Structure 1
Amino acid sequence: MGNHRQSRKAKRSHSAISISLYIVIIFLFSIFIFIIYSRDILLDHQQTHFQTDKDQPKSEKMFNDVQIWGPPSGKGLHPCVKPTTKYKAAQVSDHYMTVKSNGGLNQMRTGIADMVAVARILNATLIIPQLDKRSFWKDTSTFSDIFDEIHFIESLKEDVRILKELPKELESAPRGRKHFSSWAAMSYYEEITQMWNEYQVIHVAKSDSRLANNGLPLDIQRLRCRALYQSLRFSPPIENLGKKLVKRLRSRAKRYVALHLRYEKDMLSFTGCTHGLDVSEAEELKVMRENTNHWKVKDINSTDQRINGLCPLTPKEVGVFLKALGYPPSTLIYIAAGEIYGGNTRLSDLASRFPNVIVKEMLVTEEEMKSFYDHASQTAALDYIISIESDVFLPSHSGNMAIAVEGHRRFLGHRKTITPDRKGLVEIFDNLEAGKLDEPMVSHFVRQLHKNRQGAPRKRGEAPSGIRGRARLRLEESFYQNPYPECICGSNREER
């Protein structure tokens, strides 16, 4: 009987231990599940904090190499500059046209392309243009110093007869001096042909923007493209050195950004932009503007200029901009520009974010540059070649160089060209300075603002609505900035 009670007591004790052990196991398992679940919650929280969800815009997602370096889709478009079947070869003409080109390198280049087309319209023999030697740079270069003169003449012989000089018997002949109207249509030049009744030689005082951007016959538009992109080739010394410099840049990095940093003294003085400058610098620019007779606007409000997006980005702003777009600090940046106002001190604002900043003097030898000194148009031609061949082209301000390079890159297959929305950026930059935005927010807004400003195919822009008469012609997008659709086609069938 005693043994039986002991057995029952032992069974109860064993049962209690089992239950306790079972409870402990359940408790430990619960803790384990809690830890796993808590970790998942933490990870989910981190992911929602550091990654974008489906509701966030695509531009907020992390930009990989393809997104920041890859060109926009060309949509199968390609250059098309062949004449149509209605186009006839140039005829020998006893009418002659002499030209005085004006402006810097790219203003002269696009002007010369216009003069080729005008000579065709007027059925005139074109004499090799005289280049501007009185511009801000006072470059004494001749046509053959900058351009391959023989190639220019030969490649256009089916379009326009071109001679190096006037025939001797016409050197002293009276000339009809004409300042052609800006952005003129075909009807204007049809009236000009009446001058041949009185003169055998017409002298053109200015060459830039003498043809309309739109509304011209297809063959005239394509001739402008052939002249600019194929015939107006740089001289062999410039071409050869330009290719060497591109190769040297590629030896430093696989890819590079060509930055047309329009922060030269003349640009800042002309635009009246003084943001980030000290009082003495602002005064120096004002004096320069007042003393430059052909700059008509003397009184300029710098703040208004900047708010309206009319000022070039400063080196510091370019650094913030590139970083916001996702370019890493190791990015190689080539400065395609003249002397930066403020020199290395001002460039340091960019170099602090992107240490690999290169200027042409870091790529060339003294011997190589010897023949280029005091020839700003020739050194600008080197910048042009390097900009055309770059992986990314970024102009800090609109202008003749920016327009010409963008258009050429579009013609060559819509190479990546980022055009800053300067007016939109001013507000972002100012809010960053004021502490109202942090860097991730700046990156989001900058990418959103520029997702459609990467050089993708689009038709040439028209003048803003509501503007009538000749005023609209000045505000149309330049033909040379975007030669689509006349010189860029979607299929071979379109080139006819």
Structure 2
Amino acid sequence: MASPVSSPKKNTRNRKLCTPPNHSLFFLSLLVSMITFFGISVLSFMPISLQDSYLLPLLSPSSEPFSSPSFSSAENRSQVTLASLALTFLDSEENEPILSNSVMVPLPAHGIVGSNVSEEEREFWRQPDGEGYRPCLDFSIGYRKASVRITEEKRRFLTVAVSGGLNQQRNGIVDAVVIARILEAALVVPVLVVNQIWRDKGEFSEIFDVKHFKRTLQADVRVVSSLPSTHLRSRQTIETMQMPSDVSPLWIRSRFLRKLNGDGVSILKLQGLYSRLSKNLPSDLQKLRCKVAFHALRYAAPIRELGNRLARRMRIEGPYIALHLRLEKDVWVRTACRTGLGAEYDDIISKIRGSQPEYLRASQNMSYLQRRLAGQCPLNSLEMARLLKALGAPRSARVYRAGGEPFGGKQALQPLVAEFPNLVTKDNLARDGELSQYSNRSSALAAIDYIVSLSSTVFVPSHGGNMGIAMQGHRAYVGHRKYIKPNKRSMLPLLEDTTISNAEFSRAMRKLHAKSQGQPEMRTNKRDRDVLAYPVPECMCKHSVNNDVSHH
């Protein structure tokens, strides 16, 4: 029998049978192209939350809130394929960065090691389970359709000036972006005003990553660094005003939109934006607030790198606590509360209040005792030490103190140091020269405190304020890091009861704070809650074990 090699005719016939005709090859190629296009189209119109559920395992393998699923099933392998497509089409210099990759995440949580740890200490360090809630910014189709027009705006401009400390400035910037969206105007990068207390002359670009800010928001509003020179010479409609409190989108449109719709270039200047917007905005605008606060407002690279370096130095020896102690002189002046340092120091505060009425913010018709009973006074270092000890914090715990210099210096901190001797600040952690470039730069120093506090195992504020609110929401958003909010109203009778034993005090404190240690709290349970402190349910959805999104 002849071999195939010696039978050229047979070989020719086989080659023809194995080679598809040209038109079959064309239709096969067309089919593959259509399938690929369909897959990309589905991903493009998929809610951002669902995109993130596919992308997170690839983008944040080491961060706690974004845990990696198993890729053993065919479904999970398809998720990897979709994720790689998304990386190709979404994460480029010209397009919006992937949200799950842009969020400012803390260092991974530090596990508890050692066999000699008491049950009380384990309970103190134990993290809340988050109940399955994870970030999900699934903007509506209507919002996304309107974005095509809004992000191309080149005639209407909004300029804003934000003042106050760092976290107050952050809130003002969030409001500015939302107002620009409501008015469908381009936003000029906000100006940071020198505050009479903080006196920081830093510019936006020195504190925040401007390029990241623009890219993250480019699907929501057009952000420009400055007004083009051609527009500066054009006819302008400029209005400068202080906004009232609790304004709605309807109020903003009725107040400003007609003037912005005039002929030529229109420029609207606003100041005093802090906490002026209603807390009860439409769902898409609430999501935009979260997107600005937790994704777009990333600190400038030098600040970010130094903050993470200090955080790593804190966690290298184990879990740590971050305290935001509001013991500065201006806090005591504004709140009209007693310092806990004695009559001499309280008299100094009273004299300042009498000579500088511009600092006064506390209700003038309330006595000190009434303010204290209403929970309006910060906890001093003795009260904070008693609270931490009662909740099970070990004496050996590393404690990071965020905030400015306390009124009264070392004397003000002595009760806390006596109970927790491993108390440090950024000045103690930094090596020679690391903080020198930020001397007299309060916003940059506050940003470093923010980064180290975000990575802490447990965070406790001594007073409710902008930093406490920011930490509460941000820690929830990145994985429900433990956040203990002191219940000052209910604590006071126990703090002042000299007959109560330490064991009884500890039991009472644990019971009092059992439900306020980082578990998800719904914003909608109480009217006027800030979505930046309570991101559930507008900005976070409940995910099942297999990472599918279930909307509520």
Q: What amino acid maps onto 2:200 in structure 1?
A: D
Match of 1:406 in 2: 472
Q: Deviations over 1:194-240 (max 9, x none)?
A: 221457010011221132111x2222111111111111100011000
Alpha-carbon distance between aligned partners in 2 of 1:443 and 1:262, rounded to the nearest angstrom: 24
Residue 201 of structure 2 aligns to a residue whose secondary structure is coil
* Cα pair 1:372 1:379 within 8 Å, conserved: yes
* Cα pair 2:323 2:401 within 8 Å, conserved: yes
Alpha-carbon distance between aligned partners in 2 of 1:202 and 1:189, rounded to the nearest angstrom: 12
Counterpart among 439, 450, 469 of residue 502 in structure 2: 439
Match of 1:54 in 2: none
Q: What amino acid maps onto 1:153 in structure 2?
A: K
* Cα pair 1:110 1:480 within 8 Å, conserved: no
Match of 2:239 in 1: 176
Alignment identity in percent? 35
Q: Aligned pair in 2 of structure 1 residues 238, 495: CA closer, same or farther (>3 Å)? A: farther
Alpha-carbon distance between aligned partners in 2 of 1:447 and 1:225, rounded to the nearest angstrom: 31
Q: Aligned pair in 2 of structure 1 residues 366, 293: CA closer, same or farther (>3 Å)? A: farther
Residue 433 of structure 2 aligns to a residue whose secondary structure is helix
Q: Please list, as runs of the form range in 1=range in 2, the aligned pairs for 1:455-474 lying within 5 A after superposition.
A: 455-460=518-523
Match of 1:145 in 2: 206
Counterpart among 247, 267, 281 of residue 345 in structure 2: 281
Alpha-carbon distance between aligned partners in 2 of 1:91 and 1:477, rounded to the nearest angstrom: 29
Which range moves more in the overlay, 219-228 or 437-446?
Answer: 219-228
Q: Does 1:123 align with 2:188?
A: no
Q: What amino acid maps onto 1:481 in structure 2?
A: A
Alpha-carbon distance between aligned partners in 2 of 1:461 and 1:67, rounded to the nearest angstrom: 29
Alpha-carbon distance between aligned partners in 2 of 1:250 and 1:331, rounded to the nearest angstrom: 11
Match of 2:128 in 1: 72
Counterpart among 286, 304, 313 of residue 379 in structure 2: 313
How far is 1:174 from its partner?
A: 4.2
Q: Please list, as runs of the form range in 1=range in 2, the aligned pairs for 1:480-491 lying within 5 A after superposition.
A: 480-491=532-543
How far is 1:178 from its partner?
A: 3.1
Q: Deviations over 1:239-286 (max 9, x none)?
A: 0000000011112x2100000011111111111111522222112112
Q: Does 1:393 align with 2:459?
A: yes
* Cα pair 1:80 1:495 within 8 Å, conserved: no
Counterpart among 506, 516, 519 of residue 453 in structure 1: 516
Q: Deviations over 1:113-168 (max 9, x none)?
A: 12111111101010010102024111000000100011111221111101111121
Q: What amino acid maps onto 1:406 in structure 2?
A: Q
Match of 2:158 in 1: 97
Alpha-carbon distance between aligned partners in 2 of 1:65 and 1:308, rounded to the nearest angstrom: 31
Q: Does 1:295 align with 2:374?
A: no
Match of 2:250 in 1: 187
* Cα pair 1:74 1:413 within 8 Å, conserved: yes
Alpha-carbon distance between aligned partners in 2 of 1:305 and 1:160, rounded to the nearest angstrom: 42
Residue 145 of structure 1 aligns to a residue whose secondary structure is helix
Q: Please list, as runs of the form range in 1=range in 2, the aligned pairs for 1:43-442 lying within 5 A after superposition.
A: 63-86=119-142, 87-88=144-145, 89=147, 90-93=150-153, 94-171=155-232, 173-191=236-254, 192-198=256-262, 200-214=266-280, 216-251=281-316, 253-297=317-361, 299=364, 301-431=367-497, 434=498, 436-442=499-505
Alpha-carbon distance between aligned partners in 2 of 1:75 and 1:228, rounded to the nearest angstrom: 23
- Structure 1: where are the runs of 5+ without partners? 1-61, 464-472
Q: What amino acid maps onto 1:237 in structure 2?
A: P
Q: What amino acid maps onto 1:487 in structure 2?
A: C
Alpha-carbon distance between aligned partners in 1 of 2:483 and 2:320, rounded to the nearest angstrom: 12
Q: Aligned pair in 2 of structure 1 residues 178, 312: CA closer, same or farther (>3 Å)? A: same
* Cα pair 1:102 1:135 within 8 Å, conserved: no
How far is 1:66 from its partner?
A: 3.8
Q: What amino acid maps onto 1:204 in structure 2?
A: L
Alpha-carbon distance between aligned partners in 2 of 1:157 and 1:171, rounded to the nearest angstrom: 23
* Cα pair 2:123 2:392 within 8 Å, conserved: no
Alpha-carbon distance between aligned partners in 2 of 1:128 and 1:342, rounded to the nearest angstrom: 39
Alpha-carbon distance between aligned partners in 1 of 2:357 and 2:336, rounded to the nearest angstrom: 15
Q: What amino acid maps onto 1:230 in structure 2?
A: H
How far is 1:65 from its partner?
A: 4.2
How far is 1:415 from its partner?
A: 1.0
Alpha-carbon distance between aligned partners in 2 of 1:296 and 1:370, rounded to the nearest angstrom: 33
* Cα pair 2:130 2:479 within 8 Å, conserved: yes
How far is 1:387 from its partner?
A: 0.9
How far is 1:386 from its partner?
A: 0.9
Q: What amino acid maps onto 1:330 in structure 2?
A: S
Residue 139 of structure 1 aligns to a residue whose secondary structure is coil
How far is 1:461 from its partner?
A: 5.7
Residue 239 of structure 2 aligns to a residue whose secondary structure is strand
Alpha-carbon distance between aligned partners in 2 of 1:458 and 1:95, rounded to the nearest angstrom: 39
TM-score (norm. length: structure 1)? 0.81
Q: Deviations over 1:37-69 (max 9, x none)?
A: xxxxxxxxxxxxxxxxxxxxxxxxx74444211
Q: Aligned pair in 2 of structure 1 residues 293, 461: CA closer, same or farther (>3 Å)? A: farther
Alpha-carbon distance between aligned partners in 2 of 1:267 and 1:296, rounded to the nearest angstrom: 10
How far is 1:423 from its partner?
A: 1.3
* Cα pair 1:104 1:135 within 8 Å, conserved: no
Alpha-carbon distance between aligned partners in 1 of 2:159 and 2:206, rounded to the nearest angstrom: 19
Alpha-carbon distance between aligned partners in 2 of 1:305 and 1:67, rounded to the nearest angstrom: 32
How far is 1:397 from its partner?
A: 0.5
TM-score (norm. length: structure 2)? 0.73
Residue 406 of structure 2 aligns to a residue whose secondary structure is coil
* Cα pair 2:121 2:392 within 8 Å, conserved: no
Q: Which has the larger radius of gyration?
A: 1
Q: What amino acid maps onto 1:284 in structure 2?
A: I
Residue 204 of structure 1 aligns to a residue whose secondary structure is strand
Alpha-carbon distance between aligned partners in 2 of 1:302 and 1:296, rounded to the nearest angstrom: 14
Q: What amino acid maps onto 1:133 in structure 2?
A: V
Alpha-carbon distance between aligned partners in 2 of 1:77 and 1:291, rounded to the nearest angstrom: 50
Residue 269 of structure 2 aligns to a residue whose secondary structure is strand
Alpha-carbon distance between aligned partners in 2 of 1:485 and 1:181, rounded to the nearest angstrom: 27
How far is 1:296 from its partner?
A: 4.3
Alpha-carbon distance between aligned partners in 2 of 1:390 and 1:124, rounded to the nearest angstrom: 39
